[in-house]
Structure 1
């Protein structure tokens, strides 16, 4: 397990150092925070053999990982709670982070703050490093003077996002492996197996069944035009990526993703949980709901859901209630709409939206646990269809030839 050196701030304000093992820096930060000693800095160390622990001793390039941003928010929460000036805190975090791009961004932000700029404006200059939701939430925290709570909520939000992504990866690992094996098997059958049987069947000069002729024709086409097929697939992938990066293309693809069998409902519930959690943070930070929806609409990582949020905001501007505006989006279930209506009537929209987030998160957890079971019948059907095609295409003519010989 990776080894880390850490510095903590004790309840009486002193700074102490130590060394501990943890899965990663974020896990160690959570452990230290739970013990009432917020970390000031965390650095990975080498093991006794002199080799790296695998925790990222050298600076990494590229965009910061989700774990890097989560640790950044936890450290900022600890520093603001301890009363450390933001510029000094950013400089300290820049020295301890293992992502070169994040470190450079934090140093640039510290310089901008020293020049008199606001934190959210300085962070917006590094929008390639920090997500829009994080920047907008920092702006809300500055407007309300509740930076400590803002970073605490952001760290919890990012932690929940990381756990959901890990669950999705774990649940889809087996289906992806099976589908890869199936595609490899189809390629081997077309390139190796079918041509071998085709030569044997041609020597008998017998009329072959229709499934056999189709499979042989498919194999011959693949062998003759494989270069064109490969080029066509590459062009299709590049064209698809280019189209989905455009405004209309992204809106179309993000909507299609939510309608995919089995996993579409999981993605939709995860996005709605993210929306509800972000709206909870915004309302608890004292941000007006219209301004909060505007920020969340830009921050949600799905163009279709963002478009629905914009319609929801427009309905509120026309004077409609929050419940009616939410119902007009077509995103929420009747139970969730009822919860929103109750929150609006009681003046506790933030509490109800937190319950909505928990509801969707529980739904996501349940569906992820059953994802493999839901995909197994589909995978079995695909494998069964392959076996059936092979049986009809290969064994039928062999049986015919054996019957003719007898």
Structure 2
């Protein structure tokens, strides 16, 4: 049993907060709805969960999202081939050589042998199987379409992981160039510039101020090299900690959302994520209200997540999805119009899928422009930095030579 923190609206519209112990977030939602409250956010209390784990469990690595996606796809293929669910889990466990993934498969098999459904079994691992995964499996089991649902889940997770890799590659190249520039700068200042220190003796007051700045920087780095190394390690550790906290709370995405180029990319990514997930959920028989709640857990932008929470509340009060989206201006007008047409024709899933496909192409183009602009810009800055160092040193040496002549 885990602890979940929640925010909910009571029948009078007041915001309630607290924590509930339950097996899954779905049970927390059911408890809140039984007392007439509308859940706004339900999050697993990770710190409370870690406090109950032993040191072995904390050090044991967990499968990565890509491994869970591969597991889902393999299980779907086995079911399509006529293999029973429990037998499929046994086969995958026998073929797997990563012990932590084997442990997950064995736990799922044990849960099934105890009479639990697959949805309840995967719900016991909320860090590996998010609520969206659990709900789709639950609905698919009730409809007898488990293989189809697992295939859809695997496809969507693959698209999401590919999109994440595209974002990472768009940022990795400029960051690599910055790191390379700093490395070259450090090498020049620490190892090369001191070689010319002897030639400067007695001429420091006659050297150009810009060139003298380079030599002073080199002298400072060499005098305090140990302290700078310790400070760099401390800053690196602090940066990793801050980056993790910022990533979990969406701080960095909120910052990027205010930058001109990144704002467009994140807006396209939001549209793709919302429409693609909505299409899959609706196509698998999940009602709009539940689908919106699950999508809200997938959305990474804090502001968009809050707006989607308001859309969910409006839909639960009887408004149509397109009307609620238009009211809160979460997406461009033509996106809302496309969803309205699909909603009126009873083809919401198809319309959402078409919008997602269209914006995936736009997202690829936007990421291409980011890489095409940021990469050369950083390269130019790196070149200018290296050129400044070389020119400064050469100017100083030429000045000394003129004085000697």
After superposition, the C-alpha distances for 1:364-401 in whole angstroms (9 at most, x for unaligned) are 33334455422333123212321342255223333433
Matched, 1:142 2:141: yes
Count matched residues: 346
8 Å CA contact retained: 2:314, 2:324: yes
- 1:357-396 to structure 2, matched below 5 A, reads 357-396=356-395
* Structure 1 residue 196, shift from structure 2 partner: 2.5
8 Å CA contact retained: 2:177, 2:379: no
- 1:339-354 to structure 2, matched below 5 A, reads 339-354=338-353
8 Å CA contact retained: 2:177, 2:382: no
* 1:141–1:378 Cα change, 3 Å: same
CA distance in 1, matches of 2:272, 2:213: 48
Equivalent residue, structure 2, for 1:297: 296
* 1:316–1:210 Cα change, 3 Å: farther
Equivalent residue, structure 1, for 2:218: 219
CA distance in 1, matches of 2:288, 2:252: 28
CA distance in 2, matches of 1:241, 1:363: 32
* Structure 1 residue 291, shift from structure 2 partner: 0.7
Equivalent residue, structure 1, for 2:115: 116
* Structure 1 residue 185, shift from structure 2 partner: 0.5
CA distance in 2, matches of 1:91, 1:249: 34
CA distance in 2, matches of 1:369, 1:254: 19
8 Å CA contact retained: 1:132, 1:299: no
* Structure 1 residue 319, shift from structure 2 partner: 4.6
CA distance in 1, matches of 2:277, 2:109: 26
Equivalent residue, structure 2, for 1:239: 238
CA distance in 1, matches of 2:364, 2:188: 39
Equivalent residue, structure 1, for 2:9: none
After superposition, the C-alpha distances for 1:189-232 in whole angstroms (9 at most, x for unaligned) are 22112222344223434332222233233223322333333333
8 Å CA contact retained: 2:61, 2:100: yes
Equivalent residue, structure 1, for 2:163: 164
Q: TM-score under structure 1 normalisation? A: 0.73
Equivalent residue, structure 2, for 1:189: 188
Q: Which runs of 5+ in 2 are unaligned?
A: 1-59
* 1:247–1:97 Cα change, 3 Å: same
* 1:320–1:200 Cα change, 3 Å: farther
Equivalent residue, structure 1, for 2:87: 88
CA distance in 1, matches of 2:242, 2:329: 26
Equivalent residue, structure 1, for 2:272: 273
- 1:95-134 to structure 2, matched below 5 A, reads 95-134=94-133
Equivalent residue, structure 1, for 2:70: 71
* Structure 1 residue 243, shift from structure 2 partner: 4.3
Q: TM-score under structure 2 normalisation? A: 0.73
CA distance in 2, matches of 1:99, 1:134: 22
Moved more, 150-159 or 127-136: 127-136
* 1:152–1:195 Cα change, 3 Å: same
8 Å CA contact retained: 1:194, 1:216: yes
* Structure 1 residue 121, shift from structure 2 partner: 1.8
CA distance in 2, matches of 1:305, 1:363: 19
8 Å CA contact retained: 2:76, 2:151: yes
CA distance in 2, matches of 1:69, 1:229: 42
After superposition, the C-alpha distances for 1:106-145 in whole angstroms (9 at most, x for unaligned) are 2111211221222122112123433443233223323444
Q: Which runs of 5+ in 1 are unaligned?
A: 1-60
* 1:277–1:225 Cα change, 3 Å: same
Matched, 1:404 2:392: no
Moved more, 324-333 or 338-347: 324-333
* 1:342–1:197 Cα change, 3 Å: farther
Runs of 4+ off more than 6 Å:
none
CA distance in 2, matches of 1:302, 1:98: 37
Equivalent residue, structure 1, for 2:253: 254
* Structure 1 residue 267, shift from structure 2 partner: 5.2
* 1:260–1:62 Cα change, 3 Å: farther
Moved more, 351-360 or 309-318: 309-318
CA distance in 1, matches of 2:93, 2:312: 38
